[in-house]
Amino acid sequence: MAGSTGEGGGETVSAKVAFRIADSDVQAELTVPSGRVPPGAVLPVLHMLEAIVIEAAEARLEGEGRRIACRAGCGACCRQLVPVSEVEARHLAGLVAAMPEPGRSAVRARFDAALARLAESGLIDALRGLDSVPREEREAVGLAYFSLGIPCPFLEDESCSIHEQRPLVCREFLVTSDPVHCSDPAAARVRGVQLPVHLSNLLARLPDPSGRGPSPRVALPLIMEFVETHPDELPRRPGPEWVDAVFRLVSGGGLPAPGGELPGDRAP
Ligand code: SF4
């Protein structure tokens, strides 16, 4: 590992790793803060892993004569219920807080409008306790949410305004069917892409992989309310420890040495 000073002035540490994920051999140089940071500091590592998983899925689909139909400018799925991990909720809220004006106020206004619409619909209590909704009722809650047609507060001109930073679950929602069907998920004509691993699910366990269980999931329009009403008790650890925790969750092992393996078939 090599240490240096990062763009933000903080100390960083880099390491070359080699691993296998989703049938792909990967060599990468990972750079993370060396000091104690919240788990969101390793989201770039997860974004990189997710891109590899999706690239492998695309190659597999191509071999079957199919292709992913999702394209920039299609916001059909951005009116669905998007649950994110607490780690991402805090990261996304931080993005909003760091936006320059007048963009920040415009995004905040869209969050406020979504909350008001959810309160008016009576759905907001279910969303505030998303993890308490019985499994058999989740689909109904999702369909009720979709029927409201509330655009994600980050959606602008039918495109994601935070594309590079969008949540893992948004990256994982991919279809090979005509995107027009995504406007009516109840019709069951949406043909989703099966991924070998869902990193969005792993992320919920990252803050405490061996302890108290998954951290809460937050409906995306509620993230600002969540961070404003829940103190940030996510643990702080050195960046390399978070990277190690990510690889442990995915593979059951630690940070892979060159030549190590990160099996892609360990779906959560
Ligand atoms: S974060 Fe972006 S991709 Fe995800 S639902 Fe919102 S607008 Fe769509």
Query: What pLDDT, on the 0 to 100 scale, is given for residue 252?
Result: 63
From residue 251, alpha-carbon distances to 53, 208, 237, 265 in Å are: 14, 16, 20, 9
Report how far ligand 1's centroid is from the alpha carbon of 77 (Å): 8
Ligand 1 pocket, 146 CB below 6 A?
no
Query: What pLDDT, on the 0 to 100 scale, is given for residue 259?
Result: 42
What is the residue whose two structure tokens read 């296998």? Answer: 20
9: left (phi over 0), alpha (psi -120 to 50) or beta: left
Ligand 1 pocket, 219 CB below 6 A?
no
Longest dimension (CA), the chain: 55
3-state secondary structure of 221: helix
Query: What pLDDT, on the 0 to 100 scale, is given for residue 45?
Result: 92
What is the residue whose two structure tokens read 């607490």? Answer: 86
Query: Contact, 31 vs 13, CB < 8 A?
Result: yes
Beta strands in 67-209 (DSSP E): 83-85, 155-156, 159-160
Going residue by residue through the chain, which has 268 residues, state the pLDDT in tens, using 9 for 90 and above.
555 555 555 789 988 888 877 777 888 888 999 999 999 999 999 999 999 889 888 888 888 888 888 887 788 889 999 999 999 999 999 999 999 999 999 999 999 999 999 999 999 999 999 988 888 898 899 999 999 999 999 999 999 999 999 999 999 988 888 888 887 766 678 888 888 888 888 888 888 755 556 678 999 999 999 999 999 999 999 999 999 899 888 876 554 444 444 333 223 2
Query: What pLDDT, on the 0 to 100 scale, is given for residue 265?
Result: 29
Report which protein residue has its CA nearest ligand 1's atom 8. 78
Query: What pLDDT, on the 0 to 100 scale, is given for residue 222?
Result: 98
Q: Of all helices (H) and strands (E), which one includes residue 36?
A: strand 36-37
Query: What pLDDT, on the 0 to 100 scale, is given for residue 4?
Result: 56
Helix axes 86-98, 103-121, angle to 10 degrees: 130
Query: What pLDDT, on the 0 to 100 scale, is given for residue 70?
Result: 84
Report how far ligand 1's centroid is from the alpha carbon of 13 (Å): 31
Report how far ligand 1's centroid is from the alpha carbon of 37 (Å): 26
